[in-house]
Amino acid sequence: MRLADQLRTTTFLLTLRYMVLFFVSVTILVGLFNWAALGYVEQEADAAIEAEIKGLQEQYAQRGPSGLVQVINARIEAYPEGDAVYLIVDLSGKKIVGNLDAWPSLQVLEGDRVTFPLEEADGDDVRVRARVFAPQGDVRMLIGRKVRALDQLAKLTDRTLFWGLSITLALALATGLLMSNNVLRRVAQFNATSRRIMGGDLSQRIETTGTRDEFDELAQNLNAMMDQIEGLMTGMQHMSDNVAHDLRTPLTRLRNRLEQLLQKADADDADEVAACIEDADALLSTFASLLSIARIEAGTYAADQESVDMKRTVLDAFDLYTVLAEDKEIELFCDANEDVSVSGDRNLLFQVVTNLLDNAIKYTPSGGRVDISLRTRNGQPELVVADSGPGIPADMREKVLQRFFRLDKSRSAPGAGLGLSLVSAIIQRHGIELTLDDNRPGLIIRMRFPVASAAMPEGHAALAADHT
């Protein structure tokens, strides 16, 4: 099973879609949490600032400006690593007291609330929230707090998001592949079985796993359907066997009586009786062809697949038709040096080859030329019959091909006989691809055989070879 196939499956795409949905919802969730947490941390910082301001206001009220400076210095010294930020400058911007070196460039949040970045001793940037005010008009004061937790939180959520989503992605891909793999394996079973059934083996059934999942249900229904089809086919075949028996037996009698009559008949009647026998024979051979077509189409020949030596088949057909071509003064050339074997029924394949040759010779005028060749092209056996006859105009070729493939039409065509229908049934049975082209002048027919798959059972080939 190829990865590309797996990536195309419905299951995989569905998993992927869910994953994207999950991704988006997780991002929104984390975003919301982040936003709420940020608000909380900011509120905490603001509350701490308020408390600080309140405390300092009390100190100022009790001990005046110098007392305030003292208190601030004491607090800075007590907590050198603390989060509190203080700065008091005079109107010229000169620092009076505080743990900032200079008045920072502020970003106003609202009213007297501001924020600014601060570079710490270790080089890290930290954000400071603060309030600024001018208590007596001669100094400016900034009381703030580093919101270190905020940065840490942001970093934490970023990391969580990255890893969480990476793991989710990996899990989703793995699950998708695993699930689509399971599904593909089941579907592959369905496909393999239906191909075998289409190949003519109606007894094939899809395996069920016994888990009673939806695939088992589908398999059970398809199997039940195949049981019905097989039953119908068997019934039809029995019926055609019976029809063959019931109709051909009286025809046999008729023909036999005529034959006996022929022996007794005087010279005048003999010709008439012989003509009757010929008519009966024509009737019976039409009937035989119909039965053959029905059986070939029903695929009951599948059991008789053998390895057929196409080189011999072509050479035999050539041998059979050389005299016919000579009689019509047509040059018949055969090019079949390659050993090519295909799987099928040798009698049916011979019938196809002789039928094509028969037609080619029939439609080629005296002095013309017919070529038959067999070779392997791109690993695929190809049989070509080319003639120098009138050919078939390009716009008509499709129609002729349809007659090759649409049996009902050619059957109803008067005078066409059943040869073409038989050939088309045989071609379809063997999976042969047939094309018609312009031979400038004439017609060129190409038959491409399917590349041989499994080897055929030995028994049939041996039997077919010695039954003469």
Partner 1 sequence: MRILLIEDDSSVAEFIVRGFREGGHTIDHADNGKDGLFLATTEDYDALIVDRMLPKVDGLSIIRTLRASDDHTPALILSALGQVDDRVKGLQAGGDDYLTKPFAFSELEARLDALARRAQGKGATETVLSVGDLEMDLLAREVRRGGQAIALQPRDFQLLEYLMRHAGQVVTRTMLLENVWDYHFDPQTNVIDVHISRLRAKVDKGFESQLIHTIRGAGYKIDATG
Read off φ and ψ for residue 105, nearest 5 degrees: -85, 125
DSSP state, residue 364:
S
CB of 129 or CB of 346, closer to partner 1: 346
Q: How far is the CB of 404 from partner 1 (least distance, A)?
A: 18
CB nearer to partner 1: give 69 or 361. Answer: 361
Neighbours of 239 (CB within 10 A): 11
Nearer to partner 1, 142 or 352 (CB): 352
Sign of the CA dihedral 273, 278, 280, 281?
Answer: positive
Q: CB 215 → partner 1: shortest distance, Å?
A: 35
Q: Closer to partner 1 by CB, 208 or 428: give it.
A: 428
Residue 107 near residue 114 (C-beta atoms within 8 A): yes
Q: Which is nearer to partner 1, 28 or 288 (CB)?
A: 288
Q: Contact, 387 vs 446, CB < 8 A?
A: no
Task: Please confirm whether the linkage preceding 414 is cis (ω < 30° from 0).
Answer: no
CB 298 within 8 A of CB 338: no
- Nearer residue to partner 1 within complex by CB, 129 or 255: 255
Shortest distance, position 351 Cβ to partner 1, whole Å: 5
Nearest distance, CB of residue 353 and partner 1, angstroms: 10
CA distances 156 to 34, 36, 127, 129, 161, Å, are 10, 15, 16, 21, 8
3-class DSSP assignment, residue 116: strand
Residue matched to tokens 């029809």: 243
State which residue, 29 or 323, has the beta carbon closest to partner 1.
Answer: 323
Rounded CA-CA distance 18/38 in Å is 30
Residues in a beta bridge with 384:
373, 446
Smallest separation, CB 247 to partner 1 (Å): 8
Min CB(177)–partner 1 separation in Å: 47
CB of 439 to partner 1, least distance (A): 22
Nearer to partner 1, 127 or 346 (CB): 346
Minimum CB separation of residue 342 from partner 1 in Å reads 16
CB of 243 to partner 1, least distance (A): 9
Q: Using CB under 8 A, list all residues that contact partner 1.
A: 241, 244-245, 248-249, 251-260, 262, 270-271, 273-278, 280-281, 284-285, 288-289, 291-292, 295, 300-301, 303-304, 316, 319-321, 323-324, 327, 345-348, 350-351, 354, 358, 417, 419, 460, 463-464, 467-468
Minimum distance of partner 1 from residue 271's CB (angstroms): 7
Strand partners, 109: none
DSSP code per residue over 379-447: TEEEEEEEE-S----HHHHHHHHHHHH-HHHHHHSTTS-SHHHHHHHHHHHTT-EEEEEE-SSSEEEEE
- Cα(140)–Cα(145) distance, integer angstroms: 17
Number of helices followed by number of strands (H, E) in the chain: 11, 13
Neighbours of 464 (CB within 10 A): 16
Which strands sit side by side in the sheet containing 443-448, from one edge to the other? Answer: 331-335, 369-377, 380-387, 443-448, 433-438
Closer to partner 1 at the Cβ: 165 or 461? 461
Nearer of residues 419 and 450 to partner 1, judged by Cβ: 419
